[in-house]
């Protein structure tokens, strides 16, 4: 089960699962917001979750494949690790954006010393916005991402065998995939 084929299937299908989860998260927030514009309002915050398309597969490798354990506990840890990692990536970008805003404001100002405090305040403000966005997204994310991760687990275990088996599953209707 823990072959190179399983690894590459898990990573590539993980990107697809993350895309479906992101679309589901956007749809959930779009419906909840009641807005007619799909890019504004609450649904627009999902754009900040785009790093999750890459992060989910990386977290799947770190949490599931490296430990050779696809248990339910590990799957739930995958969901949490993905949320925390995406939040950290977004926070890092937002902090860099805060420094960029502060530095460009200082360079464009006629009296730069009057806005020098912006260098300390802007990154903190962007970090606070990121934390606020994470708080808004945590419940909808868990509602959407948990079933998607469980579906991903079910799909891979159905194709490659059970979590406790080192050999592929040979049940009826399940393709036999030889180990390497």
With cut-offs at 50, 70 and 90, classify the pLDDT of residue 173. Answer: very low
**Distance of alpha carbon 32 from alpha carbon 35, whole angstroms:** 8
Burial class for 115, CB neighbours closer than 10 Å (0-12, 13-18, 19+): middle
With cut-offs at 50, 70 and 90, classify the pLDDT of residue 17. Answer: very high
SS (H, E, C) 51-83: CHHHHHHHHHHHHHHCCCCCCHHHHHHHHHHHH
Please give the model's pTM, rounded to 2 decimal places: 0.78
Quote the number of domains for the chain: 1
Cβ–Cβ under 8 Å, residues 2 and 18: no
Q: What is the mean pLDDT of residues 123-131?
A: 85
Q: Which residue has the tokens 């088996």?
A: 165
Does residue 43 fall inside a structural domain?
yes
Does residue 41 fall inside a structural domain?
yes
Q: Is 171 a residue whose pLDDT tops 80? A: no
Cα R_g (the chain), whole angstroms? 21
Cβ–Cβ under 8 Å, residues 29 and 42: yes
Query: pLDDT above 70 covers what percent of the chain?
Result: 87
Does residue 149 fall inside a structural domain?
yes
Does residue 127 fall inside a structural domain?
no
Q: Is 54 a residue whose pLDDT tops 80? A: yes
Q: What is the pLDDT of residue 166?
A: 46
Does residue 9 fall inside a structural domain?
yes
Cβ–Cβ under 8 Å, residues 69 and 163: yes
The domain containing residue 38 runs over which residues?
A: 4-86+140-160
Does residue 44 fall inside a structural domain?
yes
Does residue 180 fall inside a structural domain?
no
Does residue 30 fall inside a structural domain?
yes
């Amino acid at each position: 089960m823990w072959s190179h084929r399983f690894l590459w299937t898990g990573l590539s299908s993980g990107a697809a699962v993350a895309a479906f989860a992101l679309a589901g998260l956007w749809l959930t927030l779009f419906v909840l917001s009641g807005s007619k514009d799909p890019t504004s309002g609450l649904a627009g915050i999902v754009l900040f979750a785009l790093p999750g398309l890459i992060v989910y597969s990386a977290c799947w490798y770190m949490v599931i494949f490296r430990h050779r354990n696809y248990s339910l506990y590990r799957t739930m840890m995958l969901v949490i690790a993905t949320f925390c990692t995406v939040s950290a990536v977004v926070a890092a970008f937002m902090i860099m954006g805060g420094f960029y805003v502060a530095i460009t404001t200082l360079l464009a100002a006629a009296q730069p010393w009057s806005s020098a405090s912006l260098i300390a305040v802007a990154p903190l403000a962007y970090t606070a916005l990121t934390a606020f966005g994470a708080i808004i997204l945590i419940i909808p994310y868990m509602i959407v991402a948990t079933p998607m991760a469980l579906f991903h687990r079910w799909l891979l275990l159905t194709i490659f065998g059970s979590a406790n088996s080192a050999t592929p599953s040979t049940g009826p209707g399940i393709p036999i995939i030889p180990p390497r």
